[in-house]
Amino acid sequence: MLRTRVITALILLAVLLPTLFLAPAAVFAAVAGLFACAAMWEWARLAGHKPLACLLWAALWLVAAAALLFGASIISPSSRLLTGALTLSAFAWAALLASSLPRAALPRALSAPPVLSALGFVVMFAAWLALIRARHFGAGFLLSILLVAWVADVAAYFGGRAFGGAKLAPHISPGKTWAGVWSAAVAVVLYALVCTLWPVLSDSLFSRIGHHWGLPILLVCALALLALTVMGDLFESLLKRHAGVKDSSGLLPGHGGVLDRIDALLPLLPIALLLLIA
């Protein structure tokens, strides 16, 4: 299993790192779109659709993304479509998270496969658009957003293992602890402060927020974005419990599915970008 995980990770890095730092914008958008399309297929599966319907949802997503790529203005900072998509995504996440996480179950109104898939379509599209626009600010800026989720994930893993204690959401994801959350909070706040104080990171997300809004707002934003990564992870775990599966798919051997790898980024990307362009 470990060998499979390592091989898959190396292949992904060999594809994604050159795409992130070296590829033209259109190539980056296309590669990101293919991964998002795969995640849309997985979301439809977790929503309860039959195999053919899952493929149709993924195909519809891909066609819509391809059509929009012909209009480069959709990713300009003043684009009403971009701002609207990010705002709609924020409302979609608010509906999904507020109605499901406190009760550790999907409400009946949202659990119908077409409704759940439509919400997934919205949040997947907004995350993809945010990814493209963030890359236009620079690969380093985009990496600084991704690092919020990665720093939180690593800190939560080691903090949870070191301190254990009370479970965060035992009915959704029994392995997560409050110690892991507090460890992640400390790590993300420190990361935010380093981004603000270290001149070489002046183009990072937290540096831009800190210089524009000030230190108190920076700390609030850092904790809010951390909360989004945690809740995005928990919601995907809830979707898997709803579907009765361990992984979103087997597309990434040793790692599960694409959704298993990007769950924390789905709410993080659009809302982080919305802080800068709204």
Residue 184 CA to residue 11 CA, distance in Å, equals 28
Side chain identity, residue 248: S
pLDDT at 5 (0 to 100): 67
Tokens of 51: 């195999």
> Which residue, 241, 269, 204, 245, is CA-closest to 36?
269
24 Ramachandran zone, left/alpha/beta (phi>0; psi -120 to 50): beta
Residue 127 CA to residue 38 CA, distance in Å, equals 14
Longest dimension (CA), the chain: 52
> Which residue, 153, 152, 78, 91, is CA-closest to 126?
91
Pairing of strands 167-169, 173-177: antiparallel
pLDDT at 231 (0 to 100): 95
pLDDT at 278 (0 to 100): 57
Tokens of 250: 């087997």
- What are the pLDDT tens digits along the chain (278 aa)? 556 766 777 788 788 888 888 889 889 999 999 999 999 999 999 999 999 999 999 999 999 998 887 765 445 544 677 788 888 888 889 888 988 999 999 988 888 999 999 999 999 999 999 999 899 889 999 999 999 999 999 999 999 988 888 999 999 988 899 999 999 999 999 999 999 988 888 889 999 999 888 899 999 999 999 999 999 999 999 999 989 999 999 888 877 899 999 999 999 999 999 888 75
Q: Which helix (H) or strand (E) is 220 found in, with range?
A: helix 215-243
pLDDT at 201 (0 to 100): 85
Whether residue 129 contacts residue 77, with contact meaning beta carbons closer than 8 Å, is answered with no
pLDDT at 77 (0 to 100): 47
CA angle 230, 236, 238 (to 5 degrees): 100
> Which residue, 167, 161, 170, 168, is CA-closest to 229?
168
- Residue ranges in 77-214 assigned as alpha helix (H): 80-100, 108-111, 113-136, 139-163, 178-197, 205-213
Show Cβ contacts of residue 129 under 8 Å, excluding neighbours closer than 6 positions: 74, 75, 82, 85, 86, 270
The residue length of the chain stands at: 278
- 176 by DSSP, 3-state: which? strand
